[in-house]
Amino acid sequence: MKGIGIFGVILLLIVALVTAGCISGDYSTKSNEKSVPNENFTIPTEVLSENQIFEKVDYDISSVRSLYWLQSNYETVTVKPENFKKTAANGLVNLKLLDEEIEIEIHEVPIPEGSKKMVVDNGPTIYVSDPPRVSIFEGKVVGATNSNAWFLVTMDTINGKISIDKNVYHIHPTKQVYGGDGIHVIYRSEYQTGELNFTVVPEKTKVEEGENFIIYLTLTNDGNNTINVWKMHEQISYNIAFMSLEHDHYVPYECGVYSREPLTNNDIVELAPGRSINDTFISKCWSLKKGKYILSAEYHTSTGERISDPYWLGKIQSNNVTIVVE
């Protein structure tokens, strides 16, 4: 993506949102919007103030394909994008996200004239079109040093992400409407900190060329608090590496790369202080010629999964072990 620049990235994101159905291609009317069956709702109990941006509604998100996995830390709302833009013009936006009052210093990111066209590849037809009418905003949370906020606002939707230390709030549009306003899901990803120790122990440290051996891996909670961690799976939550001491390079991994679905709550495990989880792997995925190697591993987790429970976020290196191949 070298050379595209920030505005090219913005337009690519807009195209992606159009494709995903988060931004409608027709802003002149809402007559084509899909109405939600009444049985999915409880009548809102909030009294919507004149400048309020979100109004809570009780909606069953099991029908939202991209968010059905959420089990906690979420709410469903309708949105008033015009109120967001009006408030943002003053440089401050106050949002109530999951009953938390958050004040954001915000400014609009201008889109230059040269970026106001986009190429749309529609199967056999390629044409140039005006992009959907959007406004891009960014900023930071007042009083939070380690924070950032980003919003993409159309006439009907608000798409946003607010990061505050280890908490991330997401504002996600859906294709549904209620009372003429688009239904959005606001959810929070929570990440934990803790002291983990990751160790790797080979079955043997001297092997014959071509001989496979077992590698034992252990993740231990050395801290004082119980935390959630990803279960031990090679390539998913940890990677093993062999570095040749003679040639000063890593030995290629020969078993291929997994293609996987996003992780869910079923892929995490609670780890109390002093407790460990273990896994084993076999060295058959590396061709080790005669010589000396350093065996090590890295345990890691990341964002972007379908995990609604809090979990430890980060990466940690294991100890190093010398392997001699004779």
**More confident of the two residues 122 and 214:** 214
Residue 156 pLDDT > 70: yes
Mean pLDDT along residues 283-308: 95
47 by Cβ neighbours in 10 Å (0-12 / 13-18 / 19+) ranks as: exposed
Which pLDDT band, with edges at 50, 70 and 90, does 44 fall under?
A: low
Dihedral, 115, 121, 126, 127 alpha carbons, nearest 10:
-40
Domains and CATH numbers, the chain: 5-191 (no CATH), 196-325 (2.60.40.2970)
**More confident of the two residues 119 and 256:** 256
How do residues 185-197 score in pLDDT, each as one tens digit? 999 988 999 999 9
Q: What is the pLDDT, as a whole number, of residue 117?
A: 56
Residues 116 and 157: their CA atoms lie apart, in Å, by: 19
Task: Say if CB 252 and CB 298 are below 8 A apart.
Answer: no
How do residues 57-68 score in pLDDT, each as one tens digit? 988 888 787 788
Q: What is the pLDDT, as a whole number, of residue 68?
A: 80
The C-alpha R_g of the chain, in whole angstroms, comes to 25
